[in-house]
Structure 1
Amino acid sequence: MVFCFVVGTDPENAFEIEGSAEMSISKLRDIIYEKNKNGFKNFNSNKLNLWKVDIPGDTNDVKMKTLQSRSRDMDKENITIQELGGQKMAPFSDFCNIFMDDSKNIRIIVQPPLSTTTVSLMHIIPDKVKIEIKNNVIKIFPHLDIFSINQLVDVLAFIWNVQAVERVSSSSQNDRALN
């Protein structure tokens, strides 16, 4: 048995997974995906990165404090995982070779892919704007998980940019009509 933590959630939402000797990390990834399918949308299980860690559940532990203070900071998630001693697990490795003993510690950090939105180049939103939108969304909707926040930010930024493009294009049409 190992406990898993998903980047973008709170450490209190860590969950237990039962592993077996013959199970691969790829199969473990599928099990984790199924257990969290409501939070994992718009991507397949093979897009999840799994990191081996050892983080005691004690809230006074330095690693747990790091995880608690930065668990929702998607922009710096790779740095945080490295600070926590994370080692990326290969999909073809065997569960039993990595996790030899049961533990009540968080042993796996699950890193979903960053949310992606397909837009044309003329609709790429500056990072400063997206960060400002994201900060406002987090203030207004603190209960939302990071995946929902990122999707909402992408939609709001896209809407904001389309409206800006429409304003520019309608004002240039008005300028041409005046000439």
Structure 2
Amino acid sequence: MSIMLFCLVHGNTFKYAFPVKIKKNETVGDLKKVIKMKKPNNFANIDADRLILWKVSIPFDLSNDKRNVLEIDSKVDIKTVLEGEELLPIDNIKEHFDKPTKKYIHIIIELPTFFESPYFSQDVINKINKMHNQLTQKAIDTISISKINSENYQNLQRHLNIKFENVTFNNIPTHSNVLPLAFKWKEKSELAHKDEYLKWLRKYIPLTNGYIWYDVGGNSDLLEIKKDPRLPFNIRGGTNVVIVKDCDVKIDMVPESIYAVLELKKKVERNHNKQVILKMIIADLITARDRAVFGILSDLIDEWRIFWLENENNKTIKGWKAPSRNIAVQVISMLLSKKGLKSFQDNLESTSPIIPAAKRVKFDILFQNKIIDEDDDIARMEDVYDVMSKKEIMHHKVGVASKIIKSIPFFSSMYI
């Protein structure tokens, strides 16, 4: 007597389930052959005896934990999460499926972890797999902005192929000879000065049109970005103050609405430059397209540094140190004016900007012409390994290995 069992390949969703018919007096080994015959393309180059079959009991038409996890996790553990029982080839079908329940998944098919090919020895296959894993499955580090070091920063510069340039501006127009009073730091942390420095900023660099100085010092995850192909590592951190619109704060859209980041230090040191540059880049990546973020590093006394991205001749991070507190405050005021916040077109068309950051651009503009290299495509191919045949996966891995070998100077001459 024949029975019908519904099967699903591990990693697929319910819509790809398929039925097979098998006699009760046949074995699990026979069932493997039936499954391979049912789906010859899916199991090409895989011998039937290499298929691993698991007995499960998962309803088709009823919402349940097992079905839900199958839909969202392609690598779900069959034994522990789905309560699967591995079937032995010598087991009799009747032992496990005397009266299989209708509208249930009965079998999960697990593919072998390695690929067997008539074209390569197993030793070669193992080496290709090892090389591929080392090249494409590197762990992505998470960098804390406050702890960025020279190695991290240089890695970022190499990844972006971007340089840093310190610039000077002569004859910056000033409209006031009144010197803003120096901020008075006390014997407590920078963050503990929140009320004082916000009052100072609002007094000497007032904003209009709904823009505000907004304190974010308590949010260490404000500037967080993960698995972004434009960056060589994950990044998390925060800053002291940002420029946003009051309406954005009210709807909790601060990270997506930043115009500028302000990092405050009692004593400005060299490593703080790297921190504020990174904060500026991350803020620019996560904020809206209509604003190019710039960074400010200051002690609110004599140290005033502004950083921005520019694309004049080459991709550049530019920095400017204000000669005085008065000039710094007036430059920042101009950059945060209604015209400065809403439009950069006039400045972009000018060959001689009169103030720093007038020709700043967004990060994406800077890299919009970057050609996506084969490594990006490799990463996407790996994402769909679960729906590729073993032959396709091996051909792809061989291609990756070949590309790497060609890039090694000793071997490259062999391919000319």
TM-score range, shorter chain: 0.7 to 0.9
Mapped partners of 1:120, 1:105: distance in 2: 37
Give the counterpart letter for 2:45 in structure 1: N
Secondary structure at the residue paired with 1:2? strand
Distance across 2 between alignment mates of 1:121 and 1:57: 38
Comparing both chains, which one has the higher relative contact order based on Cα–Cα distances under 8 Å and sequence gaps of 6 or more?
1
Q: Does 1:158 align with 2:398?
A: yes
Question: 1:169/1:109 Cα in 2 relative to 1: closer, same or farther (>3 Å)?
Answer: same
Note the alpha carbon deviations across 1:83-141, whole angstroms, 9 max, x for none. Answer: 100110011111111112132210111112135264377754242533476641266xx
Q: How does 1:1-179 map to 2 (within 5 A)?
A: 1-58=4-61, 60-71=63-74, 73=75, 79-103=77-101, 104-116=103-115, 118=120, 119=124, 123=128, 124-127=130-133, 129-131=135-137, 135-137=379-381, 146-148=387-389, 151-170=391-410
Check whether the contact 1:134–1:153 (CA below 8 A) recurs between aligned residues.
no
The percent identity for this pair of structures is: 23
When normalised by structure 2's length, the TM-score is 0.35
Deviation readout 1:42-70 (Å, 9 max, x if unpaired): 12111111100001113621100111112
Moved more, 129-138 or 104-113: 129-138
More strand by share: 2
Counterpart code for 2:21: E
Q: In structure 2, how many angstroms separate the alpha carbons of the residues matched to 1:35 and 1:23? A: 17
- The change in CA–CA distance for 1:152 and 1:45 in structure 2 (over 3 A counts) is closer
Which one has a bigger Cα radius of gyration?
2
RMSD: 3.0
Aligned residues: 164
**Structure 2 gap segments, 5+ residues each:** 138-375
* Higher share in helix: 1
SS at match of 1:18: strand
CA distance in 2, matches of 1:67, 1:60: 11
DSSP-derived class of the 2:61 partner: coil
Ranges in structure 1 where 5+ consecutive residues have no aligned partner? 174-179
The one-letter amino acid of 2:60's match is G
Give, in whole Å, the separation in 2 of the partners of 1:134 and 1:163. Answer: 11
Would the aligned equivalents of 1:3 and 1:16 in 2 still touch at CA under 8 Å?
yes
Give the residue type in structure 2 aligned to 1:137: M
Contact 1:115 1:147 in 2 (8 A): no
What amino acid does structure 2 have at the position aligned with 1:163? K
- Normalising by structure 1, we get a TM-score of 0.75
